[in-house]
Structures are given as C-alpha cells and as structure tokens.
Amino acid sequence: MMTEETINNNDTTTAGTAPGKTAGTRSIAIFTEFDEALLRRDYVDKQPFVLRGVASDWPVSGKWDYDWIRKQCGDTTIRPYCFNRKSKSQSYLFQAVFNRTKMTIEKFFAEKFQKGGSLWSIKECHEVFEAHPELKEDFQFEDVYMGPTDIPRAHYFWIGNADSSIGLHADMVIYSCMLQIHGRKHWKFYPPADKEYLYMETKGAIDGGMYSPLDVFSTVDLTEYPLFAKATEFNLILQPGDILYVPNGWWHAVYSMDATMSVNYVAERCNNISTGFLSAWWINDYLEGSRLLLLYLLRQMLTFITYILPVGSSSNKNKKTETLLDNDTGAVWTPKSDEMEAKGK
Ligand SMILES: O=C(O)CCC(=O)C(=O)O
C-alpha cells in the first residue's frame, strides 16, 4: 500500500536538475490506496505525501490535454509568470511579483508554450475556473480532501514549459492537494522548522508567501549560505496521476522536467478569491498601466537616496548604492546592503 520512493530511483540528473544537497536527503511517502484514518493520523498537516493512481477514474483522466484546454479556454485572460532561477539581479520574490504579463490562454500557447519561452509558466491560475466553472466537475477533490471545511476552497490551474521552475518559497495556503495531469515535476521540500536555514528574504509574508533566494536545483554555495547545510531536504518526482498534499508552512521549489499540467485544490485564508488583498494578482492589477510611472518614481527615489541624502551626512559619506537595470523588463533592482558589503562595495 505504501512505498517510500527515493530520489535515487528517479533519474533527475538527465532532466537537467542538479541536487541542492548531495547527501542526507529524504524521500516522500507514496500511497496507492486512500486510507483516510492512517493519513489523518500520521500525515495530514504534518508532512507532504502522495496518493498514486487514486484519481484514475476522475473525468479529467484522458480528457484534459494542451489542445483541449486551448480550445476550451483560449479566450480566458490570465497572468503567466516568467522565472529565471539563475538571475543574479532579480530575486525570486521580485520575479514572482513583477514578472507577469496579462495575456489570453491562446496567446500563451501561441507565443510562450514550447516555443522558446522555456522560463514561462501559468501558476495558481484561478481565472480558468472562474470563466469556466463547469471544468471543476472533471475533478473529485472532495473525495480525498481532508482539510478544514470552514474555509473557502478554490481550484487553481498550472502549466509549465519543460525547464520552467518555481523558486523556493512557503505558502500561506492552509491546505493544498495537487493532481498532476501531464509531465513530471521535481519537488524539493524543507520542513517549516528549517526556515532559519533557508535565508528567508523578508521578515514576514509578502504576496501570500515567504521567499528564499536559494537556487536549490543548483549546488548551493555553502560559503555564502552555510546554514543551508543544516536543512533537511525531501525530494519527489511527481508523476501523471499523482495527487500531492503539501501541508501549510512547508518550503518547496518545483522544476518541470517535461511540459507539465496540474490542477490543485486549496483552502486559503487569504486566497485570490476570498480577499485578493495580499495576492500578486491584486498588486499586478494595481500596477497595470502605471508600471512605467512607478518605475520612474522608484528611480527618482533611488537617485535622491543615492546622491542627495548622503550630502551632509558624515556617516553615509563612504557608502555607495548600486542599482541594476534588468535588460528584459527595464525594472530597477537594488541589492541589499549586506550583498553589497559581501561584494566589497
Ligand atoms: O506545481 C508547481 O509548479 C508549483 C506549485 C507550488 O509552488 C505551490 O503549489 O505552491
């Protein structure tokens, strides 16, 4: 009934993923039957786990493919996301909030999907299910749902190009279960208690999540991030037909080994549907159309801080601020002062 899948059984290296940690990694439990009592006792809200093959008779099986979605939802407006995990000038937090562009599903397929837009993916997309609520009938998440029932629940749609990824973060989602429909995803998990080893970028949650600058699919530089050596890493290759449960607070980064399609069912206290207040969707809506103005104001502010404020302040006389202009987006990014110190600036 249960198998413990080890990362060694899955040839992740051929898919282009280098391990974040080379030793001491663990695997995620995989169940081939839905034993609710056992799962509630030992796993739900405690650690991630997978149900394998349990969704094989859901209507989605054999029905949802990329062409079908393109035909059903081509005119739905979404905000796909571009993440370059190797970028030195833009953190994951920055990219998660700003590197999104409004377009239709049709345009995403025509221009971004399997067409050299390898860093692009559609993530946590609720718009598809809002525009086409009948699509929810193809899923039977309520049969395997073991989360809170007093919180609103939503379906989110995900598509990723092969080689696209999501950086290391922990969500404020109270409960999530994801059905993998097509392709394989390499997941890396770190328990909530290991937060202090992951160099979280902000003191609190931003945009409904907490973010880390570590690229765990490359070999993390332990001279720069020594505490990462103490983190416990769990690896999983999520396969078509798998349902993955991710408890609240577990850190994760995800790499699409193939073109991938997934749908997850979430209970979120502060989700896009219930408040929308802290979500990237809200921030992006707000910025839409005024992005250039904002960048201009940001620039003026940085100029002020860099050149005007230091005059007359003796403690600041020797300090210098560096701003980087990203070639793709024109966005301004200022390294943190400790990064500059590390660079000897
Ligand atoms: O499936 C993915 O690509 C990422 C999923 C994720 O980050 C999440 O569910 O929070």
The tens digit of pLDDT for each residue in 11-35 reads 343 344 545 665 557 899 999 999 9
The parent domain of residue 63 ranges over: 2-287
Residue 140's pLDDT is 98
Shared domain for 316 and 334, answered yes or no, is yes
Ligand 1, from 178, 186, 258, 265: best to mutate by most atoms within 8 Å of Cβ?
Answer: 178
Ligand 1 centroid–CA 331 distance in Å is 25
* Alpha carbon 152 to chain centroid, angstroms: 21
pTM: 0.77
Conformation bin of residue 194: beta by default, left when phi > 0, alpha when psi is -120 to 50? alpha
Q: Which residues contact 148 (CB under 8 A, 6 or more apart)?
A: 174, 175, 267
> Which atom of ligand 1 lies at the shortest distance from residue 252's CA?
7
Question: Considering only CA atoms, which residue is closest to atom 10 of ligand 1?
Answer: 171
Radius of gyration of the chain measured on its C-alpha atoms: 21
Ligand 1 centroid–CA 344 distance in Å is 36
Distances (CA, A) of 145 to 154, 202, 266: 12, 32, 10
Ligand 1 centroid–CA 300 distance in Å is 36
Shared domain for 237 and 337, answered yes or no, is no
Q: Six-digit token pair at 129?
A: 């299910």
Residue where a domain terminates, one of 287, 302, 317 = 287
Ligand 1 centroid–CA 308 distance in Å is 43
Ligand 1 centroid–CA 166 distance in Å is 7
Quickly state the pLDDT bin for 95 (edges 50, 70, 90).
confident
Ligand 1 pocket, residues with Cβ under 6 angstroms: 158, 160, 166, 171, 176, 185, 252, 254, 262, 264
The tens digit of pLDDT for each residue in 52-73 reads 999 999 999 999 999 999 999 9
Shared domain for 307 and 282, answered yes or no, is no
Shared domain for 100 and 132, answered yes or no, is yes
> Which atom of ligand 1 lies at the shortest distance from residue 121's CA?
3
Q: Which domain CATH number covers 130?
A: 2.60.120.650
Shared domain for 272 and 302, answered yes or no, is no
Quickly state the pLDDT bin for 186 (edges 50, 70, 90).
very high
Residue 340's pLDDT is 34
- pLDDT, averaged across the chain: 80
Rounded CA separation 253/123 (Å) = 13
Q: Which of 98-112, 161-175, 231-245, 327-341 has the highest mean pLDDT?
A: 231-245
Residue 322's pLDDT is 32
Q: Is 271 exposed, middle or buried (0-12, 13-18, 19+ CB in 10 A)?
A: buried
Q: What phi, psi does 322 have (nearest 5°)?
A: -110, 130
The tens digit of pLDDT for each residue in 274-318 reads 333 334 444 544 454 455 566 667 766 776 676 666 654 444 444
Question: Considering only CA atoms, which residue is closest to atom 5 of ligand 1?
Answer: 254
Shared domain for 60 and 156, answered yes or no, is yes
- Whether the CB-CB separation of 96 and 280 falls below 8 Å is answered with yes
Mean pLDDT computed over 174-181:
94
Residue 236's pLDDT is 96
Shared domain for 265 and 301, answered yes or no, is no
> Which atom of ligand 1 lies at the shortest distance from residue 260's CA?
3
- Whether the CB-CB separation of 31 and 8 falls below 8 Å is answered with no
Q: Which residues contact 67 (CB under 8 A, 6 or more apart)?
A: none
Q: Six-digit token pair at 156?
A: 């989110």
Distances (CA, A) of 131 to 76, 125, 288: 7, 11, 21
Shared domain for 282 and 336, answered yes or no, is no
Shared domain for 226 and 319, answered yes or no, is no
Shared domain for 215 and 297, answered yes or no, is no
Quickly state the pLDDT bin for 127 (edges 50, 70, 90).
very high
Above 70 in pLDDT, residue 326?
no
Total number of domains constituting the chain: 2
Shared domain for 54 and 72, answered yes or no, is yes
Mean pLDDT computed over 264-269:
88
Q: Is 260 exposed, middle or buried (0-12, 13-18, 19+ CB in 10 A)?
A: buried
Site of tokens 């940085």: 302
Ligand 1 centroid–CA 269 distance in Å is 17
Shared domain for 198 and 323, answered yes or no, is no
Ligand 1 centroid–CA 287 distance in Å is 24
The tens digit of pLDDT for each residue in 128-155 reads 999 999 999 999 999 999 999 998 899 9
